[in-house]
Each structure stands twice: as C-alpha cells, then as structure tokens.
Chain A
Amino acid sequence: MADKNVKSAEAAEDREEATAAAATDDQQSAENTQGAKDTQGAKDTQGAKDTQGAEDTQGAEDTQAARETEPGRRRAWRAAAALGAATVVLGAFGAWATVHANSERNSAAAQNTALTDGPATAAVRREVAATVNTIFSYNYANTGATRRAAQGLLTGPAVRQYDTLFALVTKNAPAQKLIVTTRVTNTGVEMLNGDRARLLVFANQQDTRAGTGQTSYAGAMFAVTARHQGGRWKIENIDTFSG
C-alpha cells in the first residue's frame, strides 16, 4: 500500500508539471511504476550505486522550481540508475553462473576429450605413431640420422630415456649390421586434456641383419605420455610396463 501512496503522490506531481499530461499517460504509468520501485529500492540498489543522485532527486521534488525546470533530467537519472542496478545484478549473476559452470566442467571425465574430440584424438594418434616409427627405426650404417630426427620429437624425461637406449644402438648395431624398422599397429588414446595426452601403443619391429640376411619380428607394447609443444605432439615419457 505504501507503493500506491507513492505512486499517487508522484502521479499528482507529474500531472502538475506536465503540460500535456493526458497525451503521455502510457509513459507516465510506466514511469510511475519505475518511480515506485526506485523509491522502494533506493536503499539497496539505487541508493548503493548513486545515493547522491537519489537524494538530489528526492530533494528536488520538494522544490517546485527545480522540478519544473528539469523533470526530464530527473527521470533520465532514475531510469539510468534503475538500468545500472539491473546491470549490476545481471552481471553478478552472470559471473556467479560462469564460475559454477566452469567448476562443473572441471571433472576428470569431462576434461578428458579422448575420442569425444575426434580431430584432436586423430591428430595425437597420427603424430605419436609417426614419432615412434621414426625414433625406433634405424640403419646400422647411419644411426646418426635417426638420432638427429629424434631431436625435435622428444621432450622431458623421454630425452634421457632415449639417449640411454640409443647409446646401446650406436654401440651394437654396426657390429650386427642391424636394420630395424618399427611400425605402429595400434594406438589408443586414454587421456587427452589440452596439451597433454596418454596413449597405449602397439608396435611391430622388423630386425634385419644385413650380414646374414636374417629377419626376425618382435612385438612391443608401451604407454606414451605426450605433450603438445611448438605445434606438434612430442613424446615425454615411455612406460614399457616392465616395472
């Protein structure tokens, strides 16, 4: 009922000041509602944002002269304040909802895009398979070529793991005249999260001894951790399940 009182008081005032009162009925009722809301909400929204404006407006209402010279400005201030309050409320809600939406999405299952992101999954499979084929294929006559090719394909702990392994290759391959060709047969992405991935890899190795012409085959299985660096997937760690 307080609303109504304010409304009728306001309406009376507005009618007094408006020269074409009847003509702007629609607008007035809208305004009056606004006015009533503002008066009510002045303490929490408008008041907090623009106390001075509200106070001024309120004060101006008492002064007949001020009201008559600047009725439009007063209304504009009110409207702006109401819109400002709405902006604050909507913005706050938006921020709150965004924070909550993000925390909901941050569960482990949701963050893993293996298979759910087809192109990204295909890319990491393709690049890791190519890397495995490259770094585990070598010719006794030119092991340096493989080592050089491996340079940009490994990162982190894998660099040392590979160095240790390849030291043996450099030492033994020439004596055995060994030509090793590695072909990845199966890859499965277990985890893909941004620039990190983990894959299970099956590969076949064909070992040929150039001296005797003997060829043998071996199968390998290992899990690879990969990092996306400098525009491509690099192998960061190799787990051969030997532990």
Chain B
Amino acid sequence: MTTKPGLRGWVSEPLVATALVLAALAAVFAAWAGWSWYRASAAGPPQDAQLRDQVLQAGEQAVQNFNTLDYRKVAAGLALWEQSSTGPLHTEIMAGRAQFERQIARTKTITTARILDGALTALNARAGTARIIAAVQITVTPASGSPVTKQSRLAGTLTRTPSGWKLSALGQVPVGAASPASGKGSSGG
C-alpha cells in the first residue's frame, strides 16, 4: 500500500494532527451538549420531580377536603370526601355516611381547614403509593358560640387511581410515647 503515504504523512503533520484532535474534542463536546440540551428542553423538569409536586398538591387538597364540612351543604361536602378518597378510607366513608349526616345535622357545625404546611414522606411511583404529612389549622364554628381553632398533625397514605391520586388513609398522628404514627385511622372533620 504505497498509495497512502500522502494521507499518512498528512496526519502525521503536527499541525493537522493537533487540529484533528481539537476538532474531535469539539465534536464530542458539541454532541454531549446538544444531547443534554435536548434532554433538558424536551423533558422539562424531571418527571419524578413533577410527579412529586403533583402528588403533594393532590394530597394537600385531599387533606383539606377531609377537614372541611358545612352542615348546610353536607351532601356536597361528603361527595367531595368520596371523590378525594379511595381504598379503605373510601369504604369507611361510604359505610359511615348516613350516620355522619345525621350527626352533623344535629351539631350544626361548620368546619374549615387551612394547610399550614405539607410534605411527602415517601413516594413510590411504580407502586403508585405515597405518604403525606400535613400541619393543618382547623376551625370549627358551632351553631352558637365563637369559632374554635386548633392545630392538627395529620398523616395519610395516597394511592394512585385512574382519576388521580387519592387518600386511602388519613389520621391524626398520636401524641405519646407510642411508636411513629402508622397513618391509619378515621377521617378528620
């Protein structure tokens, strides 16, 4: 192969060799940068970060729904509870609904809630489950008398359903020497 000395001599020229190496490095850099730019712009925020924010928002809304009830609009309020729940919590609400309606009609209370702060303590995207804790300020206004405000520590479990993330358990975190709250229990309100 004496036909290629020209090419070989060419590349062995220090100037060309240097330029070739630099161009190759620039090509690698450009490819990497282009790829990362494509990834960043096509994906937007990482999917898992988006999911976390979305689940937390859904969870906080559901917790608030469960701590809101107006005796003048019981049906609508309980319908919202049903919509915001799934699994065991949903079953519990359905079972206790009639009794609850009678009870709230008698006490004539208006309960409102404000989420002071909330955070997910776990998120399993594959299983479609998450755990949430929320600091909630609950105001109960009785038929007569002044409103009573209390702060409440709530823990819940969220489960993914075809119509979004819903609470499958919600309860007060118990005070005491007991082990950390398991997050199950009855609804607030």
Flag if A188 contacts B176 (CB, 8 Å). no
Q: Report chain A residues within 8 Å CB of B44.
A: 104, 107, 110
B10 touches which one: A75, A84, A241 (CB < 8 A)? Answer: A75
Cα–Cα distance between A115 and B10 once the two chains are bound (Å): 55
Asked whether any CB of chain B lies closer than 8 Å to the CB of A1, the reply is no
Those of B126-163 within 8 Å (CB) of chain A: 132-135, 137, 151, 153, 155
B33 touches which one: A101, A219, A241 (CB < 8 A)? Answer: A101
Q: Report chain B residues within 8 Å CB of A23.
A: 2-3
Take A83-B20, A90-B30, A91-B26 as given contacts and tell me if A116 and B48 are in contact as well, using a CB distance cutoff of 8 Å: yes
Flag if A86 contacts B173 (CB, 8 Å). no
Flag if A186 contacts B26 (CB, 8 Å). no
Q: Report chain A residues within 8 Å CB of B132.
A: 188
Flag if B121 contacts A186 (CB, 8 Å). yes
B87 to chain A, nearest CB (A): 21
Cα–Cα distance between A75 and B7 once the two chains are bound (Å): 10
Asked whether any CB of chain B lies closer than 8 Å to the CB of A189, the reply is yes
Q: Can you report 25 residue pairs joining A to B where beta carbons are below 8 Å apart?
A: A79-B10, A84-B19, A90-B29, A93-B30, A95-B33, A96-B33, A98-B33, A104-B44, A105-B40, A107-B44, A107-B45, A110-B46, A112-B49, A112-B53, A114-B52, A116-B52, A187-B119, A188-B119, A188-B132, A204-B175, A219-B174, A219-B175, A223-B117, A241-B117, A241-B137
Q: Hey, which bits of chain B sit against chain A, CB under 8 A?
A: 2-4, 6-7, 9-10, 13, 15-16, 18-20, 22-23, 25-27, 29-30, 32-34, 36-37, 39-41, 44-46, 48-50, 52-53, 116-123, 132-135, 137, 151, 153, 155, 173-178, 180-181
Q: Hey, which bits of chain A sit against chain B, CB under 8 A?
A: 20, 23-24, 27, 72, 75-77, 79-81, 83-84, 86-91, 93-98, 100-102, 104-105, 107, 109-110, 112-116, 183, 185-190, 199-200, 202, 204, 206, 217-219, 221, 223, 241
